[in-house]
Homo-oligomer: A and B are copies of this chain.
Amino acid sequence: MRTSFFTDHYELTMLQAALASGAAHRRSFFEAFSRRLPDGRRYGVVAGTGRLLEGLADFHFGDDELRYLKDHKVVNDETLKYLENFKFTGSITGYAEGELYFPNSPLLMVESTFAEACVIETYLLSILNHDSAIASAASRMIASAANRPCIEMGSRRTHEESAVAAARAAVIAGFTATSNLEAGARYGLQTLGTSAHSFTLLHDTERAAFQAQVDSLGRGTTLLVDTYDVEAGVRTAVDVAGPELGGVRLDSGDLVQQAGWVRKLLDDLGNWNTKITVTSDLDEYAIAALASAPVDAYGVGTALVTGSGHPTASMVYKLVSRQNDAGDWVSVAKAAANKASVGGRKFAVRQLNERGRAVAEVVSTAPYSTGEPERDLMVPLVIDGQVDASYTGAEGVAKAVARHHASIQEMPGEARKLQRGEPVIPTIMVRG
């Protein structure tokens, strides 16, 4: 699957005009960043980097794409000629996947000709904006769940390919598993699931359904007990599966109250090891409300795959520096109205206190040290077109999981607060 057509028409018309003027070959720095976090959020989570690096390998224009561009007169012959041999040969440094970010964190710095950086813009932003929105929401859910496992189950609520990316982003932020088989196959994620209400309704009685499930999937399976009367459902489940019943799932009603009496009923019946999974329209707030309820695992769907109110991360990609005809670097920035930004190549370190806790995000337009403990946030992801493969595939996901966990641990405790508030550390911009 070629990735080059996940691109806006204007990237190629700009390319055409810049090839004609000669400016297309000027070396440039583009910066991906977000001016703000979603309202009230304390931090964001970078995700999608691995997918982007994987997709760059397939970002070229084949016969089908070139024919389309020619037939539909999107660009002229000179531009087609350029695109025939297109390959990203530049360098990308930036925040590694799983890392936290704040307003104006320079998430990616892309250094290449204008032409190359321009052509990959839409694709790069699509991935970063989507995956980071999901990971940012997922991370808050994990914080709310404390040490209870969260399972991603939102595939049916979002585009079929977004679902795969969402499962991946959720796992990076700390989710234990996903229901999505394609995500399991593509990224080596654990997949989980047992049955739905339709399975119970298919059989003549709830007992017949439970018996069929236990016979086929074993006593360790999780039975969905709320198709009819929950109490009767729990009793039938225990009757059919005995004390080895793996779990029951509750998918409706007042979960806090229900989890309480279901736990008591299970214990009374001798099923001390049978776990309770809850799954009804959970978000980070509902999960927090269940903290004191005897719940063993959370299945999260809609709120996860839609970013819990913030389905996109509002990241932008701006030309911040480019060479002139003499080969000198010139910082550039849009000046007009409400979208002004800071020109120039960016660097970033996370300043820490003596106990290793984050104090500030320090962004600068030249290499800069705070003189305090600090950690460089800009890592090389692509060098002269060569992707660092350790950020891709299943290995990339596994590393991002660890990195996210470490990055969260480094934050002040307020990072985990659900209440609306300011970013948990300030972004300090050092110019020059």
A127–B213 Cα gap in the complex (Å)? Answer: 29
Please indicate the chain B residues that have their CB under 8 angstroms from the CB of A54 in the complex.
none
A interface size (C-beta, 8 A): 108
Please indicate the chain B residues that have their CB under 8 angstroms from the CB of A165 in the complex.
159
Please indicate the chain B residues that have their CB under 8 angstroms from the CB of A125 in the complex.
156-157
Contact B337 A195 (CB under 8 A): no
Q: Does A86 have its Cβ within 8 Å of any Cβ on chain B? A: no
Please indicate the chain B residues that have their CB under 8 angstroms from the CB of A118 in the complex.
198-199
The minimal Cβ–Cβ distance linking A180 to chain B, given in whole angstroms, is 7
Q: Which of B23, B161, B332 contacts A159 (CB 8 A)?
A: B161
A17-B195, A212-B18 are known contacts. Are A226 and B336 too (CB-CB below 8 A)?
yes
Q: Which of B16, B64, B212 contacts A23 (CB 8 A)?
A: B212
Contact B160 A17 (CB under 8 A): no
Of A5-13, A141-149, A237-245, A287-295, the one with at least 4 CB within 8 A of chain B: A5-13
Q: Does A196 have its Cβ within 8 Å of any Cβ on chain B? A: yes
The minimal Cβ–Cβ distance linking A11 to chain B, given in whole angstroms, is 8
Q: Which of B5, B131, B163, B319 contacts A182 (CB 8 A)?
A: B5
A126-B163, A181-B5, A191-B74 are known contacts. Are A253 and B201 too (CB-CB below 8 A)?
no
Please indicate the chain B residues that have their CB under 8 angstroms from the CB of A216 in the complex.
16-17, 19-21, 76
Q: Does A130 have its Cβ within 8 Å of any Cβ on chain B? A: yes
Please indicate the chain B residues that have their CB under 8 angstroms from the CB of A10 in the complex.
179, 193-196
A8-B179, A18-B212, A118-B198 are known contacts. Are A229 and B336 too (CB-CB below 8 A)?
yes
A72–B68 Cα gap in the complex (Å)? Answer: 41
A155–B126 Cα gap in the complex (Å)? Answer: 6
Of A202-210, A355-363, A366-374, the one with at least 4 CB within 8 A of chain B: A202-210
The minimal Cβ–Cβ distance linking A163 to chain B, given in whole angstroms, is 6
Please indicate the chain B residues that have their CB under 8 angstroms from the CB of A266 in the complex.
none
Considering the complex, give the chain B residue whose CB is closest to the CB of A183.
B5
Convert A281-313 into 0s and 1s, putting 1 for each residue whose CB lies closer than 8 angstroms to a CB of B. 000000000000000000000100111000110
Convert A175-201 into 0s and 1s, putting 1 for each residue whose CB lies closer than 8 angstroms to a CB of B. 000011110110000011111111101
Contact B181 A334 (CB under 8 A): no
Q: Does A30 have its Cβ within 8 Å of any Cβ on chain B? A: yes
A141–B21 Cα gap in the complex (Å)? Answer: 38
Considering the complex, give the chain B residue whose CB is closest to the CB of A24.
B202
Show 14 A/B contacts (Cβ-Cβ < 8 Å), sorted by A.
A6-B161, A6-B164, A6-B181, A9-B193, A13-B195, A17-B213, A20-B212, A21-B212, A23-B203, A118-B199, A122-B155, A131-B159, A228-B334, A306-B312
Assuming A16-B217, A114-B202, A121-B156, what are 20 further A-B pairs, CB within 8 angstroms? Answer: A3-B160, A5-B185, A7-B182, A8-B179, A14-B194, A14-B195, A14-B199, A23-B212, A26-B202, A55-B160, A69-B181, A76-B216, A122-B155, A126-B157, A198-B318, A201-B332, A202-B319, A204-B324, A228-B334, A230-B337
